[in-house]
Every structure is written in C-alpha cells, then in structure tokens.
Amino acid sequence: MEFPLTNRFDTDIVRSRIMGPNTLKLTEELMADAGIPRGFVVLDLGSGSGISSAMLAREYGLTAYAADLWSDPSENMRFFESLGLTNHQIIPVKADAAQLPFAHGFFDAVVCVDSYNYYGRDPEYLGNCLLPFVKSEGRIYLAIPGMRKDCHDNPPACLRVSWTAEQLDYIHDMNWWRNMISQTPGVEIVSMCEMECTREAWADWIACDNEYAIGDRAAVEAGALDYLNTISVVLHKA
C-alpha cells in the first residue's frame, strides 16, 4: 500500500512514538474512505503517545481529543506543538476508556487504533461506556489487533514465543468481534474486514529499538503473522 500521509512524518519520530504496529499506517488505511468533514470533533480513544491524534488533526483537519489513561497530556502537548499544532486543533486528555469525562453526544466520530481489544471485550462496554458520547448518526472507526482464526485452545508455537496465554486472550478473530458488537442495540456494523497493511505495520514496529518491539520480534520472525491480522470495523450510531 501507499501511505502519503504517513510519509509526511519523520521516520525517527514515528519509531520513537509508536507503541505497536505502525499506528499511522493503520490510521491512514482505516480513514481512507471515512470522509469525515474537516472541523468535526473526533475522539482518538486510547491515543497513547498521540501520534495518531496528530495525524487526525494535521492531515485530516479534525478537532482531535487525544484520550489515554497512561500517557502524560503535558508531554503529548509538547509533541503536538513541535508539529505546529495548537490546542484549538488537538486536546490531550488523561482519561479512562470506561469512564470518559465528556458530555453525552459530544463527538461526531470516534477513532480507536490498536487498543479497543483491551476494553471492548466487555459486552457492556460499547453500549454503556462509548456509544453515549457519540452523536446520533455518528460513526466509530476501529482498528483491532486480531487473529485470522481463533486458536486459543491450541496456540501455535510461534505465538507462544513472545506472548502468554493471558496476552493472547486479548486477541480474537472477526467472527468473535462480530458476535460481541452485535449484542449492542443502537449500533449498526457498516463494515468489517481484514486490513491490508498489517504486515507493513508490524515490520515498522519490530524495526524499533525498544524492549517491547524486541520482545515481539521473535514471534513475528517465527511466523506469527500467518495467524494474526488487524480487523477494520466501522460502526454507525442510530
């Protein structure tokens, strides 16, 4: 795939700020056909170091709220300012995904890249903790780390090289996610498919020189990506 928006970010900056498979490539593919009008207010849920939020604000012209429980909003704001972004374009917020500190119906859309699998496995989460903050007719865009086919009963050796059974329990296949999401009233699945950039995004991640990337590298080199994918999900709030 080609990633013209991702390529506008310095490679060293990307490597220093991604926290898993290349967030920018996942975001760019996820947003390819989104058509969210410039100026719309968007929640970047589980934004981590904020690089996906920076893309939403700078490249798509959205007002992005970068919400994450574990990152430092002040540090993220310094990063945003280094890219020429202002607090009118992007707002870092320390927030628990299960207790979002916003008014109901506040967001035109939600984007969540590479973190929904941590909290969205709770069947009550979508309806009780996220959907209320989205405007009627708004959309939710998810890029979820997944499996091509669930294999938790007998995970292949290549996955066990880097990840425990508990860690693998965060990852499921498309049918599992379809069943989970379908339990929530008031939301329609617009699309659900495997993303094309998974291997590229993982290659960028394991090229990073940090302990987490190095830890994941062994599994990928052993063939883990024959079993893993990334699932694109677009939801519509009625």
pLDDT (tens digit per residue) in 23-36: 999 999 999 999 99
| 185 in any annotated domain | yes
Query: In the prediction, which pLDDT does 48 show?
Result: 97
Mean pLDDT, residues 152-164: 97
CB 193 within 8 A of CB 231: yes
pLDDT for position 233: 98
pLDDT digits (tens, 9 = 90+) for 95-144: 999 999 999 999 999 999 999 999 999 999 999 999 999 999 999 999 99
Residue 1 lies in a domain: no
The model's pTM:
0.97
Q: What percent of the chain has pLDDT over 70?
A: 100
Do 117 and 171 contact (CB within 8 A), yes or no? yes
**Mean pLDDT for the chain overall:** 97
Instruction: Convert the pLDDT of each residue in 167-193 to its tens digit.
Output: 999 999 999 999 999 999 999 999 999
Q: What's the rounded Cα separation, in Å, for the pair 76 and 66?
A: 9
Q: Which domain holds residue 28?
A: 6-237
pLDDT at residue number 1: 86
Compute how many other C-beta atoms are within 10 angstroms of the C-beta atom of residue 18: 24
CATH number at residue 65: 3.40.50.150
Residue 197 lies in a domain: yes
Say how many domains are in the chain.
Answer: 1
Extract the tokens encoding 5. 């928006």
Residue type, 116: Y
Q: Assess if residue 77 is contained within a domain.
A: yes
Roughly how many angstroms between the first and final C-alpha of the chain, as a whole number?
33
Is 39 a member of any domain? yes
Question: Helix axis angle, 211-221 relative to 198-206, nearest 10°?
Answer: 130
The overall longest dimension of the chain from CA atoms, in Å, is: 49
